[in-house]
Amino acid sequence: MRALVQRVASASVTAAEHPDAPAQETGRIGRGLVALVGVTHDDTPVQAERLADKLHGLRIFPDEDGAMHLSCAEVGGSVLVVSQFTLYGDTRKGRRPSFVAAAPPEQAEPLIAHLVQRLRAAGAEVATGRFRAHMEVQLVNDGPVTLLLEV
Residue-wise pLDDT for 57-81, tens only, equals 999 999 999 999 999 999 999 999 9
- Of the candidates 84, 128, 131, 146, the residue annotated as catalytic is 84
Burial label for 51, CB within 10 Å (0-12, 13-18, 19+), is buried
Annotated catalytic residue within 40, 47, 85, 128: 85
pTM here is 0.95
> Which is catalytic among the residues 24, 44, 86, 146?
86
Write out the E strands in the chain.
Answer: 2-16, 24-29, 32-38, 59-62, 68-71, 78-83, 125-128, 134-150
- For residues 66 and 18, the answer to whether their CB atoms sit within 8 Å is no
Question: What's the pLDDT at 19?
Answer: 87
The dihedral formed by the CA atoms of 142, 6, 13 and 102, expressed in degrees to the nearest 10: 170
- Going by their DSSP bridges, the two strands 24-29 and 68-71 should be labelled as unpaired
The closest of 86, 111, 81, 82 to 97, measured between CA atoms, is 86
- Given a cut of 70, the residues of the chain with pLDDT beneath it are none
Please give the pLDDT value at position 5.
Answer: 98
Residue 86 catalytic?
Answer: yes
Thinking of the domain 2-150, which architecture would CATH place it in?
3-Layer(bba) Sandwich (3.50)
* pLDDT for residue 29: 98
Q: Are 148 and 38 in contact (CB under 8 A)?
A: no
Please say if 84 is a catalytic residue: yes
